[in-house]
Structure 1
Amino acid sequence: MRPVFHHAPPTALVRQLARWLPPGADAPRQDVAERLGQWLNVKETIALHTAQASVAAAGAAAARRARPVDGADLHTTLQAELQRVRSVLSQSILARDPGHQPDPNDLDTEFAFFHQRLNDQQRRMELSVDALRGHVRQRLAQSTPQHAQLAVLDEQMEQLFGGREQRLLTGLPAFLKARYQALRRAAAAASTHDSPPDLAWLRGFESDFEQALLAELDLRLQPVTGLIESLET
Structure 2
Amino acid sequence: MPNQSQAHTAQSSKLLAQLARLGAPATSDTLPCFAERLSRLFGLGDTMTLDAATSYRARQPGSVQSAMVDKLTDELATTRRALIRRIQGWADELEFDDEPELEPALNAWLALQRKVAANSRQLRDKVRKSMKDQGQNLARLAELDAVFDHTMASYTSQVFSNLSQVLEQRFQQLQTSSEQHQTQGQAPDNWFHRYCEDAQALLLAELDVRLEPALGLLEACHNEVNNTP
State the partner residue of 2:28: 28
The counterpart of 1:185, out of the listed 159, 176, 185, is 176
Counterparts of 1:95 and 1:143, CA distance in 2: 38
**SS in structure 2 at match of 1:185:** helix
Q: What is the TM-score normalised by the length of structure 1? A: 0.81
Matching of residue 13 in structure 1 with residue 8 in structure 2 = no
Question: 1:58-117 deviations in whole A, cap 9, x for unaligned?
Answer: 3x535xx4x4132x333311110101111121111122455644455x44xx21122111
The 10-residue stretch of structure 1 (85-94 or 221-230) with the greater mean CA deviation from structure 2? 85-94
Give 2:72's match in structure 1, choosing from 56, 78, 102: 78
Q: What's the counterpart of residue 143 of structure 1? A: 134
- Mapping for residues 57-206 of structure 1, pairs under 5 Å: 57-58=56-57, 60-62=58-60, 65=61, 67-70=62-65, 72-96=66-90, 98=92, 100-104=94-98, 106-107=99-100, 110-192=101-183, 194-198=185-189, 200-206=190-196
Q: In angstroms, what is the RMSD of aligned CA positions?
A: 2.6
2:131–2:142 CA contact under 8 A, matched in 1: yes
* Deviation, structure 1 residue 54: 3.4
1:177-233 Cα offsets, whole Å, 9 max, x none, are 1111122222233335643423x1211110000111111111111111110111222
When residues 97 and 204 of structure 1 are mapped into structure 2, their CA distance, relative to the original with a 3 A threshold, is: closer
Q: How many residues align?
A: 215
Give the AA of the match of 2:47.
L
Amino acid at match of 1:61: R
Structure 1 residue 156: deviation in Å? Answer: 0.5
Q: Which runs of 5+ in 2 are unaligned?
A: 224-229
8 Å CA contact retained: 1:75, 1:229: no
> 1:56 aligned to 2:55?
yes
In structure 2, distance between residues paired with 1:196 and 1:8: 42
Per the alignment, residue 226 of structure 2 pairs with none
Residue deviations 1:149-182, cap 9 Å, x none?
1100000001100111011111111100111112
Task: Label 1:38 to 1:47 Cα distance change in 2 as closer, same or farther (>3 A).
Answer: closer
1:47 is the counterpart of 2:46 = yes
> Percent identity of the aligned residues?
26
Residue identity matched to 2:200: E
- Return the match for 1:229 from 196, 219, 227: 219
